[in-house]
Amino acid sequence: MNTQGKTFKYPDNVDTDVIIPARYLNSSDANELAAHCMEDIDTEFVKKVSKGDIMVAGWNFGCGSSREHAPLVIKTCGTGCIIAKSFARIFYRNAINIGLPILECKEAAEEIEHGDEVYVDFDTGVITDVTTGKSYRAQPFPPFIQNIIRCGGLLASLKEEQK
Amino acid sequence: MAMTMTQKILAEHAGLEEVSAGQLINARLDIVLGNDITTPVAINEFKKAGVERVFDRDKVAIVLDHFVPNKDIKSATQSKVCREFACEHCISHFYDVGKMGIEHALLPEQGVVTAGDCIIGADSHTCTYGALGAFSTGVGSTDMAAGMATGMAWFKVPSAIRFELVGALPSNCSGKDVILSIIGEIGVDGALYKSMEFTGEGVSSLSMDDRFCICNMAVEAGAKNGIFPVDQKTVEYMQGRSERTPKIFEADADAEYEKTIRIDLSKIVPTVACPHLPENTRPASELHGIKIDQVVIGSCTNGRLEDMETAYNVLKVRTVAQGVRCIIIPATMQILRECVERGWYTAFIDAGAVVSTPTCGPCLGGYMGILAEGERCVATTNRNFVGRMGHTASEVYLASPHTAAARAVAGYITEFKED
């Protein structure tokens, strides 16, 4: 599994209220909600994002509310991966549970610039900044989590176990 | 091996003699919770997975609290999805309009959660129930769906930070000032993935409402859970409420903590978190001349009876300043009823405030007090992120009920002199 695309760079403590504002949460339709992804801090994101693109952020990405709509809208927009210095714990869980790959890598999150072309190999955890030619290595997922992602999400993995 | 209080509860629910930080476990759940925003997504996942029945109809709680009575057609549709699911699965803890309250005030009040429980909730403030001596944490909708299907959830056993409380709070401070001070000190990711375990002789001086408020905002420091030991006050609170027998766990004396932070409660001052992060704290006395447009007293953080009493004590002989909208939201129907019976409701109206039935409404920018561009609010809620309560160019200052009520009277964020 891999993804390649241009990057959108964000600061520390990006919270789920700016990823998908609660004023839209009277709906749980992912496509409808995805039109508002990031709009409170970046109105350009939904206009410019293409399939496979990558978000790069600082510490504590996804802090705040437990709304699973947050990783869901990021994934629905076509985002292939998020690289951050760290993730808030509920967001981390939710991203894995819905099958949105996320990687913690401080060096990559610091050095990769907005708009760089980046290639990520999820099997090895290697992140390559194609624009600068520099590579980084992220912590791979533990086997338990790899299994959830391989099955396509938490419920699919539970189904698999029951077979 | 020595364990923290959280680790002991998790070990028991995983059927293990012991667990250690970092270990992945599968734990049995006592309650699986969802609300009107997160449950529809969970129901969708539950159905997609082809599950026919919930694991135990008595161990699922669904509370309609974010957008009810419904604010528009879409939110009404979401509530309807929850209502039909609850009916189909005969969910015993389903709370609709008339019975509902803000989930994290309601479940302890109704005795649905109790000491020693292992609880997940598709709402980040599920960590509130740690005040009862339970392990309780927020998750997403997919975890809720899996929990409803299997009665189990996976966890990575957390390490812990110990907060050793000594002394007693000054009369103008409450649990909110304690937790805001802590978040100001350790930051919004200061306890990321960890337990915040509150211990020490100072615990006994804190009321249950203080403890609920402190645990409620553990997530604002990134924590997995916050937890208090069970003492006489906890036991008294649970008596006559708990549906199940409480089970008391205690941390081992030699349990390992990543660090210990000592908090002298007598040194706590009224504290305000300035926009746009809960860690941007300042003593309320240092903030001068900032004009405010709105005050909100309520939410899962501060909508409990003591919070209402505090607001009443400030507002009973004063009036809300010209140009300020003061919105008071008791967190449950029982609290609302108490406000009526004790004459506080009338006093709030006489002071120029407005009182709503229970709802999360304004806290998350849903309805019932949305801010326009450039407006400023002092709120007893839990988050002050960009756009949290309305326009992206509005501002939220987080404070205790005492500080908030005082600011409603003053019209400014300024020091409040008792007169």
**Which of B74, B222, B385 is opposite residue A88, by nearest beta carbon?**
B222
Report in angstroms the alpha-carbon separations of A152 from A73, A146, B47, B279. Answer: 17, 10, 16, 36
Question: At B25, which helix (H) or strand (E)?
Answer: strand B24-28
- Residue A151: per-residue pLDDT: 82
Note which residues in 240-299 of chain B have CB less than 8 A from chain A.
277
- Residue B416: per-residue pLDDT: 55
- Buried b / exposed e across B176-192, counting CB within 10 Å, b at 16+? bbbbbbbbbebbbbbbb
Given an 8 Å threshold on Cβ–Cβ distance, is B146 in contact with A153?
Answer: no
d(CA B135, CA B71): 33
Q: How far does B247 lie from chain A, in Å, by closest CA?
A: 27
Q: At A23, phi and psi to the nearest 5?
A: -65, -15
Given an 8 Å threshold on Cβ–Cβ distance, is B142 in contact with A17?
Answer: no
Counted domains in chain A: 1
Given an 8 Å threshold on Cβ–Cβ distance, is A66 in contact with B40?
Answer: no
The lowest-confidence range among A91-105, A144-158, B50-64 is A144-158
Residue entry with tokens 């299997």: B150
The reply to whether B188 touches chain A by the CB within 8 Å rule is yes
Q: How far does B390 lie from chain A, in Å, by closest CA?
A: 8
Chain A residue with minimum CA distance to B35:
A67
Note which residues in 352-371 of chain B have CB less than 8 A from chain A.
364-366, 370
User: Which residues from A are below 8 Å from B66, CB to CB?
Assistant: 22, 25
Given an 8 Å threshold on Cβ–Cβ distance, is A28 in contact with B44?
Answer: yes
Q: What is the pLDDT along chain B (419 residues), one digit of tens a residue?
A: 899 999 999 999 999 999 999 999 999 999 999 999 999 999 999 999 999 999 999 999 999 999 999 999 999 999 999 999 999 999 999 999 999 999 999 999 999 999 999 999 999 999 999 999 999 999 999 999 999 999 999 999 999 999 999 999 999 999 999 999 999 999 999 999 999 999 999 999 999 999 999 999 999 999 999 999 999 999 999 999 999 999 999 999 999 999 999 999 999 999 999 999 999 999 999 998 899 999 999 999 999 999 999 999 999 999 999 999 999 999 999 999 999 999 999 999 999 999 999 999 999 999 999 999 999 999 999 999 999 999 999 999 999 999 999 999 999 986 555 54
Query: Which CATH number belongs to the domain containing residue A56 in this structure?
Result: 3.20.19.10
Q: What is the CATH code of the structural domain delimited by B5-264? A: 3.30.499.10
Q: How far does A110 lie from chain B, in Å, by closest CA?
A: 18
User: A126-129 and B395-398: which strand pairing?
Assistant: unpaired
Chain A residue with minimum CA distance to B50:
A159
Q: How far does B167 lie from chain A, in Å, by closest CA?
A: 31
Assess whether pLDDT exceeds 50 at residue A99.
yes
Assess whether pLDDT exceeds 80 at residue A149.
no
Contact B194, B167 (CB under 8 A): no
ipTM: 0.95
The reply to whether A155 touches chain B by the CB within 8 Å rule is yes
Q: What is the mean pLDDT of chain A?
A: 94
pTM: 0.97
The reply to whether B307 touches chain A by the CB within 8 Å rule is no
Tokens of B358: 């229970």
SS3 B371: strand
Q: How far does A138 lie from chain B, in Å, by closest CA?
A: 19
Given an 8 Å threshold on Cβ–Cβ distance, is A154 in contact with B40?
Answer: no
Query: Does B276-413 match B5-264 at the fold level?
Result: yes
Mutate to test the interface with B, among A23, A89, A139 (most CBs of B within 10 A): A89
Given an 8 Å threshold on Cβ–Cβ distance, is B139 in contact with A65?
Answer: no
Note which residues in 88-147 of chain A have CB less than 8 A from chain B.
88-90, 93-94, 97-98, 142, 144
pLDDT tens profile A10-55: 999 999 999 999 999 999 999 999 999 999 999 999 999 999 999 9
Q: At B154, phi and psi to the nearest 5?
A: -90, 145
* DSSP for residue B304: S
The reply to whether B393 touches chain A by the CB within 8 Å rule is no
Chain A residue with minimum CA distance to B388:
A17
Question: At A3, which helix (H) or strand (E)?
Answer: strand A2-9
Give counts: helices (H), strands (E), chain B: 13, 20
The reply to whether B75 touches chain A by the CB within 8 Å rule is yes
For the sheet containing B271-273, what is the strand order? B281-283, B271-273, B395-398, B376-379, B294-297, B325-328, B354-355
- Residue B58: per-residue pLDDT: 98
Given an 8 Å threshold on Cβ–Cβ distance, is A144 in contact with B141?
Answer: no
Pick from B329, B328, B351, B324: nearest CA to B414: B324
Residue type (1 letter), A123 = D
Given an 8 Å threshold on Cβ–Cβ distance, is B24 in contact with A64?
Answer: no
More confident position, B111 or A151: B111
Q: How far does A48 lie from chain B, in Å, by closest CA?
A: 21
Q: Which residues form the domain of A108?
A: 2-162
Q: Where are the domains of chain B?
A: 5-264, 276-413
Given an 8 Å threshold on Cβ–Cβ distance, is B385 in contact with A17?
Answer: yes
SS3 B126: helix
- Residue A123: per-residue pLDDT: 83
A146: how many CB neighbours lie within 10 A of its CB? 14
Q: Does domain B276-413 have CATH number 3.20.20.70?
A: no
**Which of A41, A86, A156 is opposite residue B386, by nearest beta carbon?**
A41
Given an 8 Å threshold on Cβ–Cβ distance, is A90 in contact with B387?
Answer: no
The reply to whether B381 touches chain A by the CB within 8 Å rule is no
- Residue A44: per-residue pLDDT: 97
Pick from B121, B360, B248, B10: nearest CA to A90: B121
